[in-house]
Amino acid sequence: MATCNIGLIGAGTVGGGVIKIFNTQKSFYQNKLGLSLVFKRIADKNTGLFNDLPVGEAICSENADDILSDEEIQIVVELVGGTTFARELVLQSLSKGKHVVTANKALIAEHGHEIFETAEENNVSVFFEAAVGGGMPVIKTIRESLLGNDIISVRTIINGTCNYILTQMSERAAEFNDVLQEAQKNGYAEADPTLDIGGGDTGHKLAILASLLYGGYAPFEKIYIEGITHITAEDIALAKSLGYCIKLLGIIKQNPTAPSTIDVRVHPCMLHTEHILASVSDVFNAVSIQGDAVGHILLYGKGAGEMPTASSVMGDIIDIARNITEGSPRRIPMDFYSAAHELAITPMASITTRYFLRFSVVDKPKVLAAITTVLGNHGISLASVMQKERSTGEFVPVIMITHEANENNLQKAIAEIERQDFIRRKTRIIRIED
Amino acid sequence: MATCNIGLIGAGTVGGGVIKIFNTQKSFYQNKLGLSLVFKRIADKNTGLFNDLPVGEAICSENADDILSDEEIQIVVELVGGTTFARELVLQSLSKGKHVVTANKALIAEHGHEIFETAEENNVSVFFEAAVGGGMPVIKTIRESLLGNDIISVRTIINGTCNYILTQMSERAAEFNDVLQEAQKNGYAEADPTLDIGGGDTGHKLAILASLLYGGYAPFEKIYIEGITHITAEDIALAKSLGYCIKLLGIIKQNPTAPSTIDVRVHPCMLHTEHILASVSDVFNAVSIQGDAVGHILLYGKGAGEMPTASSVMGDIIDIARNITEGSPRRIPMDFYSAAHELAITPMASITTRYFLRFSVVDKPKVLAAITTVLGNHGISLASVMQKERSTGEFVPVIMITHEANENNLQKAIAEIERQDFIRRKTRIIRIED
């Protein structure tokens, strides 16, 4: 039985999880799968980490070059994170004919085209299941299982921090900042949570999924990204009273009104409480995929954390080891994600969806008529209107839910309405997803 | 680009779906995946089916032998169903060095060991994603993605007919036979529904999953199977009043009290309405998998039907075509499912679970004391007791929910209680799943 030698760069949380899994499953891989895997070298700048890890016979060093220059190492597992040093490591590994496994979504989203071209040139693979959805097999399902489908839409909850915060805000009628601080204490949010709560992390994952789904490079910088920092307990309470919840969704959709473009967008959404994604709570993630043949399928699980992420990394290692052992190192083509073919992402102004609108108005006659007239002039028709009683004494909330409308028309209408003297606060706009 | 020639045996519903998908996706497979697939021959005894199918250039015949004897055909897709003719077809195909794709769960469950041995001997593969969970990638997830996990438990709703019937009974407070007849009219139940409503179909799928999960042959005939025909609208209403619903579950579990055995069982279960499987309604299926690393993950989707099933069959065809094209025809080892290693299935008498018990008693003093004494004597302790008011005048229902108890002890206690003269009807026993 030929041996596959693995080098692990980054011995932090996820790296530690991978080593733990390997120690538990090693004899299963050998005896049942016929795969002889060896973690030959482990590198981390923080050499103190090696003390806490059951590294077995692996050669530990603080220098990643020890792994890159070891000609016996066939698979490099990159778990250092970031997009600078990690990018160099991955490109160098590929150039030296080593396969790469990574959990680094920012790296794949922002430098994927360069990485996959280098893999192509060197006849090796890059696997990255853990980059999207942690322990859920999202990438494999898209790249392998659903190839009999034209994918119509993908709706995702793929940031555990945001989902935890929104769930807690809803359950305890708490404000964003209070829950965020708590989440930071509990380890559910980073010390610098910007990438999560600002929606960038969800955007990275969407860029990867869109590229795989539609066979082209989805430029991250063209994805519309709106985070959850502006969502208030009042928004959530209002949504609840209408039978909705608020979730941060990552959405990919074939655009029916502009068939050559794909919607790729991240923003808070109102979902009816009976929507299957409405029941995805706290740090759980879910990906709902609609294919023309398979209909709706859903994957659900923990999208982050040491062991779920390590589970996916180990699945990738085995996939590559099988390919190496069986002599098919490039079994899954990498040109799926090609710089030569850039996807046309629908400009946000061209999307259509339903909207929840909350106006704050002075309580005087004809205000409702004035708002609905402007909306009507922009081709926006209303599904329902609700005027709440005065709450703070100063202004009155007016809630409207629209039928399908064009984003550009809606934004123009809102701008026109906000120029009126009866408007007291910025209008809250939350898109509704069916 | 080398061509993979495919022979399709069985041009019914699913076969038709596969041809439709192929016609839609053919150029994508060729241009994006680099796979040249040809449906060279299609066979069906009912040659009238060919008229309704866009069979393209395929050579159609009524004789499956035309496919078996065509040396150019590398992949045989068996969609005839049943376990007699289908078994012969599959074994002959494998013996002639052809790979096989099948959606036939009964065939794999009952003859899997023979089929996989023949595949092994002839260095070819058998893929069967569509056999469990229709369009959901259950098999691939277990065989590939989750190999970094020791699987602790799998809970499944994998029979759409049963789930449809139980959902409708619950929503409309209707009785089993009425809903079954309706389901037959609507095409959600077969003319002979025995295999579905009796639990056998779920059992077939469990046998396959258990074999894959624990690397041995799970003998179908040793699986405890209890269907849903005895469930009444009253059971469901009582369950609802306690915050539960009733679902037919297929359960696979490492048995903590008998570590060398695996629980593999099919029976109606009460699930708390907040349980993630409780929200799986109508013909939808779901598979909830708990791994030591990944935690809980769930796959959800349509478990049957023309196009979802065809989607999985096409995924398998591409998997095999990739293996053939890349020169790794045996990439996924087949000895997973080995007759040489029979799994030890926990005898039903040895399982432990919680129970819902409904006694029908004559309303007289000391009945409750008599029942609880017998239960206590058998080591069964109660979590809650509810005595309903007399409903029909003749007898009174007494509801009990137990803590974890041993099945053998429970059955003995119930037998002893039923010998008492205050018992008026057979006691209803429904296991509770957490």
DSSP secondary structure string, A287-349?
EEEEETTTEEEEEEEE-SSHHHHHHHHHHHHHHHHHHHHTT-TT-S-STTS-TTSB--BPPGG
Q: What is the C-alpha separation between A283 and A290, in angstroms, rounded? A: 23
pLDDT in tens, A186-238: 888 999 999 999 999 999 999 999 999 998 889 999 999 999 999 999 999 99
List CB contacts (< 8 A) between B24 and chain A.
150, 292
Residue with tokens 């034209």: A150
Per-residue confidence band for A284, with pLDDT thresholds at 50, 70 and 90: very high
Active-site residue A40, yes or no? Answer: no
Burial class (CB in 10 A: 0-12, 13-18, 19+), B246: buried
Give B2's contacts (C-beta < 8 A, 6+ positions apart). Answer: B36, B324, B325
Residue with tokens 């994957």: A299
In the beta sheet, which residues pair with residue A41?
A7, A59
Classify residue B2 by its DSSP letter. Answer: P
Q: What is the C-alpha separation between B148 and B291, in angstroms, rounded? A: 9
Burial class (CB in 10 A: 0-12, 13-18, 19+), B227: buried
Flag residues of chain B having pLDDT under 70: 334-339, 389-393
| Exposed e or buried b per residue across A62-82, where buried means at least 16 C-beta atoms within 10 angstroms of its C-beta | eebebbbebeebbbbbbbbbe
**B301 vs A302: CB contact, 8 Å cut-off?**
no
Residue B250 · residue B280 · CB < 8 Å: no
Residue A260 has pLDDT above 90, yes or no: no
pLDDT in tens, A330-387: 787 765 566 678 899 999 999 999 999 999 998 777 899 999 999 999 999 999 998 8
- Superfamily of domain covering A351-433: ACT domain (3.30.70.260)
Closest CA to A412 of A366, A377, A384, A383: A377
Closest CA to A62 of A73, A72, A52, A48: A48
In this structure, the number of other CB atoms found within 10 A of the CB of residue B94 comes to 25
Q: Fold for domain A3-137+306-325? A: Rossmann fold (3.40.50)
Q: What is the C-alpha separation between A123 and A324, in angstroms, rounded? A: 11
For an interface test with B, give the residue of A30, A145, A171, A318 to mutate (most B CBs within 10 A).
A145
Residue B256, pLDDT score: 81
β-pairing, B73-78 with B3-9? parallel
Residue B103, pLDDT score: 96
pLDDT in tens, A47-78: 999 998 998 889 999 999 999 999 999 999 99
Pick the CATH number of B139-302 from 2.60.40.10, 3.40.50.300, 1.10.1040.10, 3.30.360.10: 3.30.360.10
Closest Cβ opposite residue A322 in set B25, B310, B331: B331
Question: What number of CA atoms fall less than 13 Å from residue B199's CA on the CB side?
Answer: 26
CATH architecture type of domain B3-135+306-325: 3-Layer(aba) Sandwich (3.40)
Q: What is the C-alpha separation between A417 and A424, in angstroms, rounded? A: 11
Is B300 in CB contact (< 8 Å) with chain A?
A: yes
Give B357's contacts (C-beta < 8 A, 6+ positions apart). Answer: B399, B400, B401, B402, B414, B427, B428, B429
Q: How many Å is the Cα radius of gyration of chain B?
A: 24
Residue A362 · residue A424 · CB < 8 Å: yes
Closest CA to A86 of A57, A126, A143: A126
pLDDT in tens, A157-179: 999 999 999 999 999 999 999 99
Q: What is the C-alpha separation between B375 and B172, in angstroms, rounded? A: 35
Residue A10 has pLDDT above 90, yes or no: yes
Residue with tokens 């061209």: A350
Residue A33 has pLDDT above 90, yes or no: no
Is B322 in CB contact (< 8 Å) with chain A?
A: yes
List where CATH 3.40.50.720 sits in chain B: 3-135+306-325
The distance in angstroms from the start CA to the end CA of chain B is: 52
Is A296 in CB contact (< 8 Å) with chain B?
A: yes
**B141 vs A146: CB contact, 8 Å cut-off?**
no
ipTM of the complex: 0.92
Mean pLDDT, rounded, for A313-323:
95
Is B298 in CB contact (< 8 Å) with chain A?
A: yes
Phi and psi, residue A325, nearest 5°: -60, -35
Residue A166, pLDDT score: 98
Q: What is the C-alpha separation between A40 and A251, in angstroms, rounded? A: 41
List where CATH 3.40.50.720 sits in chain A: 3-137+306-325
Residue A234, pLDDT score: 93
User: Which residue type is seen at B222?
Assistant: K
List CB contacts (< 8 A) between A215 and chain B.
32
Give how far A422 is from chain B: nearest CA, Å. Answer: 45
Interface of A with B in 197-236 (CB under 8 A): 215
List where CATH 3.30.70.260 sits in chain B: 351-433
Question: What number of CA atoms fall less than 13 Å from residue B341's CA on the CB side?
Answer: 12
Residue B270 three-state SS: strand
Is B344 in CB contact (< 8 Å) with chain A?
A: no
**B298 vs A300: CB contact, 8 Å cut-off?**
yes
Residue B337, pLDDT score: 63
Give A182's contacts (C-beta < 8 A, 6+ positions apart). Answer: A168
**A315 vs B144: CB contact, 8 Å cut-off?**
yes
β-pairing, B382-387 with B396-402? antiparallel
Closest CA to B312 of B119, B193, B141, B74: B141
Q: What is the C-alpha separation between A367 and B298, in angstroms, rounded? A: 49
Q: What is the C-alpha separation between A10 and A79, in angstroms, rounded? A: 5
Residue A46, pLDDT score: 95
- What's the predicted TM-score (pTM) here? 0.94
Residue A216, pLDDT score: 87
The CA distances from residue B196 to B102, B132, B162, B210, in Å, are 19, 14, 7, 19
Assign 3-class secondary structure to B178-223: HHHHHHHHHCCCCCCCHHHHCCHHHHHHHHHHHHHHHCCECCHHHC
